[in-house]
Structure 1
Amino acid sequence: MFIKILTKEYRGEKYYYASLVENKRIDGKVVQTVKANLGAVTGEQIPYLKAAYAKKKPRLVYDED
């Protein structure tokens, strides 16, 4: 499963919508099925949402040296 971000532009402003999507193989073809619509998100929330469902968890907070 992964997060899919859809971008819509309306009157020059971008809006982002997030969905939880799963890939399935049906009759030899890969089909994406939406498991949940998460709704509108801001541009700042996107990396955190993607990191939450990533297989290899990235480090989002870095220590100051």
Structure 2
Amino acid sequence: MFIKILTKTINGKVHYYASLVENKRVNGKVKQFVKANLGPVTEDQIPYLKAAYSQKKPRLVYDDVE
């Protein structure tokens, strides 16, 4: 499963919507099935949502090393 971000432009303003999507093989072809619509998200929330569902968890906060 992964997070899919859909973008829509309404009246010149970009809106982002998130969905939880699963890939399944049907009749020899891969199809995407939406498991849950997460609704509108801000541009700042997108990396955190993707990191939450990734297999390798990236570090989103870095320590200042001097």
Q: Taking every aligned residue pair, what percent have the same amino acid on both sides?
A: 74
| Secondary structure at the counterpart of residue 19 of structure 2 | strand
Note the 1:26-37 alignment, pairs <5 A: 26-37=26-37
- Post-superposition offset of 1:11: 1.3
| Secondary structure at the counterpart of residue 43 of structure 1 | coil
Instruction: Show structure 1 runs of 4+ deviating over 6 A.
Output: none
Distance 1:14 1:64 in 2: 34
Structure 2 runs not aligned, ≥5 long: none
RMSD between aligned residues: 0.5
Count of aligned pairs: 65
Are 1:23 and 2:23 counterparts? yes
TM-score normalized with structure 2 length: 0.96
TM-score normalized with structure 1 length: 0.98
Output one character per residue of 1:9-61: Cα deviation in whole Å (capped at 9) or x when no partner: 01111000000000000110000000000000000000000000001100000
Note the 1:25-64 alignment, pairs <5 A: 25-64=25-64
AA of the residue aligned to 1:5: I
